[in-house]
Structure 1
Amino acid sequence: MTTLKHYLQFTDLTADEYAYLFERAALIKKKFKAYEKHHPLVDRTLAMIFEKASTRTRVSFEAGMYQLGGSVVHLTTGDSQLGRAEPIEDSAKVISRMTDLVMIRTYEQSKIERFAANSRVPVINGLTNEYHPCQILADIFTFIEHRGPKDGTGNLTDCLKGKTVAWVGDGNNMANTWLQAASLLGFKVHVSTPRGYEVDEKLAAGAHGISAGSYQFFSNPMEACQGADLVTTDVWTSMGYEAENEARKKAFADWCVDTEMMAAAQPDALFMHCLPAHRGEEVEADVIDGPQSVVWDEAENRMHVQKALMEYLLLGKLA
């Protein structure tokens, strides 16, 4: 029996645990591509709870759990007591008695923390307003695939050490999680946001803090991209902020990742976007559909890293 462990933000795991997860994700993906069965979670059930709708989160977790031999229960606030009067604590106590694992995609981080505090099974953050750890897990794995050791030897996180990630856009849950990842895994993040949309450093730090020198802020996005090994962005208006859409379009006008920004980065720099993307807003079509873009690998890898994560949270390290 493994110790109960939740995955609510990136700092919930150690660098060694991430090295293990990336190795497992590579193995699981290799088996998937070869049509080899990998069913370590037979008779296990994942409950997926959505307060925020999703394409990639639902498909990646649901398909992933089935591929691991398990089953899935899909809940929304519209078809369960979660959207009504039942306290989150009570829902957690009931759902965690009937399932083996819970993934929640919601608004406030405090909701998922309250659920986890009352759960008998591991809880995974599928996205909150504050953090998006599963996406950064996929992004880093994608970088390792493209820029890591080709023989698969050594600590896979070592290829990140000393690298620079340029974050261009909103100081949102993705930016917060990149800062956590950089501090933990030894790379640097250049952050450039419009005035008024900066990263909340205290929020990004979470309970564990962020090491000095792991990030730097730039008012000019072009400067943030200078020499970067990876350039990444997100939509200007995240779900739940639609009322600000027009104001954001004006404020973010100079934060569109274009070919000039990519040219300022390293010649072999990669481009990532967690999707969905709005071509002509946060990224030019020539960039997201260009040769440096790895967004489709990145999207697929959500499934593979989450399979490794679910396996680890339920079974611990496997030989």
Structure 2
Amino acid sequence: MNSIKNLLSVYDFTKDEIYDILLRSFILKSEGAGGGNGCLKGKKIGLIFEKSSTRTRVSFEVGIVELGGHPIFMSSRDLQLGRGEPVKDTARVLKRYIDGAIVRTFEQERVETFARYFEKPTVNGLTDLYHPSQILTDIYTAYEAKNGSKNNTKKDIGDIVEGLKIVYIGDANNMANSWVNLQAMLGFELVLAMPDGFDIYETVASRSRERGGKFNILHDKISAAEDADVITTDVFISMGQDEEKEKIDKLRPFIVDESVIKSAKKDVVFLHCLPVHRNEEVAEDVFERFSPFVFEEAENRLHVQKAIIETVFRN
């Protein structure tokens, strides 16, 4: 019996598997909609979403179809989860109907519980703690933007990625956590810029240290951005959180504006996982100038997630 492959965080993949996914993403993107190995032919994949979504939902649904599968979307409003049914009960029912699942939910524990009782391949489509499919897309987009030679081998990818300085500016949220995770796996330079008093969860930091991860937290966005290859941010208030004026006021000085861009390398790339709040976490003129990269990043969700699907569901 084959062991079950999940993607609940990037730690579920090896470094080699991550580079395989990035290389496969390039191939799938070049092949277009007809590409892929048809690994989902005849398979039914559930999308269990307790949070709303544009990019995650559509890119996974399209990717499943392009790989020959049948997506079945289920929001919490459609399921008994919305009326308090335990996650483990929902998982034990759904495993009798579908072949795999993509779960977008709140606490990381919910997707881990689902995967444990579902006993079939499960992909984390976002939790409050991690967003693995997005972070793999972001590093692929960074590689793509910096790949001037147009060579595409695992070694090429590794040489470029591991030489990057990536700067994340903003809240200590699931994207910041995911950058910390990925840095521990791939070894690029990572600097987080956030207000004094903001910090990465100790569990996230300790898991990074266990894998040899290194990252710096600075409270000055200009010095953090110095010589950056990639600057990235996210909304100040994450999905499902209450609007906190005090929190936004503390984060407001950390807007990615022209002063941040000028501190970085001349060929810096700005990324944002979307949706964007213009003139809150990023100045509108900066966002629009780098929007070709941002919307390429959005498209790349499809290609990277197809590569993830092939890896997770190939058994």
Calculate the TM-score normalised by the size of structure 2: 0.94
Corresponding position of 2:81: 82
Equivalent AA in structure 2 for residue 191 of structure 1: L
Corresponding position of 1:257: 256
Secondary structure of 1:167's counterpart equals: strand
Does the 8 Å CA contact 1:8/1:124 hold for their aligned counterparts?
yes
CA displacement at 1:3 relative to structure 2: 2.5
Secondary structure of 1:272's counterpart equals: strand
Does the 8 Å CA contact 2:180/2:205 hold for their aligned counterparts?
yes
Corresponding position of 1:161: 162
Equivalent AA in structure 2 for residue 264 of structure 1: S
Does the 8 Å CA contact 1:11/1:208 hold for their aligned counterparts?
no
Corresponding position of 2:104: 105
CA distance in 1, matches of 2:209, 2:186: 14
Corresponding position of 2:20: 20
CA displacement at 1:44 relative to structure 2: 1.1
CA distance in 2, matches of 1:134, 1:36: 20
CA displacement at 1:36 relative to structure 2: 5.0
CA distance in 2, matches of 1:79, 1:36: 32
Secondary structure of 1:118's counterpart equals: helix
Query: In 2 relative to 1, CA 243–151 (structure 1 residues): closer, same or farther, beyond 3 Å?
Result: closer
Q: Does 1:8 align with 2:35?
A: no
CA distance in 2, matches of 1:206, 1:100: 30
Worse-matched range after superposition: 49-58 or 158-167: 158-167
String of CA shifts for 1:155-183, please: whole Å, max 9, x gaps.
22331113211010001000011011111
CA distance in 2, matches of 1:170, 1:256: 11
CA displacement at 1:37 relative to structure 2: 7.0
Worse-matched range after superposition: 148-157 or 52-61: 148-157
Pairing 1:197-236 to 2, within 5 Å after superposition: 197-206=198-207, 209-212=210-213, 214-236=214-236
Does the 8 Å CA contact 1:38/1:67 hold for their aligned counterparts?
no
% identity of equivalent residues: 38
Q: CA RMSD in A?
A: 1.8
Corresponding position of 2:182: 181
String of CA shifts for 1:25-60, please: whole Å, max 9, x gaps.
111111116x55753311111100111111111111
Query: In 2 relative to 1, CA 64–179 (structure 1 residues): closer, same or farther, beyond 3 Å?
Result: same
Does the 8 Å CA contact 1:101/1:121 hold for their aligned counterparts?
yes
Query: In 2 relative to 1, CA 5–154 (structure 1 residues): closer, same or farther, beyond 3 Å?
Result: closer
Secondary structure of 2:254's counterpart equals: coil
CA displacement at 1:140 relative to structure 2: 0.7
Worse-matched range after superposition: 294-303 or 38-47: 38-47
Worse-matched range after superposition: 252-261 or 91-100: 91-100
Corresponding position of 1:119: 118
Does the 8 Å CA contact 1:168/1:192 hold for their aligned counterparts?
yes
Secondary structure of 1:253's counterpart equals: helix
Equivalent AA in structure 2 for residue 257 of structure 1: V
Does the 8 Å CA contact 2:39/2:313 hold for their aligned counterparts?
no
CA displacement at 1:86 relative to structure 2: 2.3
CA distance in 1, matches of 2:84, 2:3: 32
Corresponding position of 1:170: 171
Does the 8 Å CA contact 1:179/1:210 hold for their aligned counterparts?
no
CA displacement at 1:315 relative to structure 2: 1.2
The structure that is helix-richer by fraction is 2
Calculate the TM-score normalised by the size of structure 1: 0.93
Query: In 2 relative to 1, CA 154–238 (structure 1 residues): closer, same or farther, beyond 3 Å?
Result: closer
Corresponding position of 1:30: 30
Q: What residue ranges of structure 2 are gaps of 5+ in the alignment?
A: none
CA displacement at 1:211 relative to structure 2: 2.0
CA distance in 1, matches of 2:171, 2:194: 6
Does the 8 Å CA contact 1:177/1:204 hold for their aligned counterparts?
no
Q: Does 1:273 align with 2:272?
A: yes
CA displacement at 1:85 relative to structure 2: 3.5
CA distance in 1, matches of 2:209, 2:92: 27
CA displacement at 1:82 relative to structure 2: 1.5
Does the 8 Å CA contact 1:28/1:304 hold for their aligned counterparts?
yes
CA displacement at 1:293 relative to structure 2: 5.5
CA distance in 1, matches of 2:187, 2:289: 29
Q: Does 1:52 align with 2:28?
A: no
Equivalent AA in structure 1 for residue 300 of structure 2: N
Does the 8 Å CA contact 2:25/2:306 hold for their aligned counterparts?
yes
CA displacement at 1:22 relative to structure 2: 1.1
Q: What residue ranges of structure 1 are gaps of 5+ in the alignment?
A: none
Query: In 2 relative to 1, CA 256–207 (structure 1 residues): closer, same or farther, beyond 3 Å?
Result: closer
Equivalent AA in structure 2 for residue 86 of structure 1: E
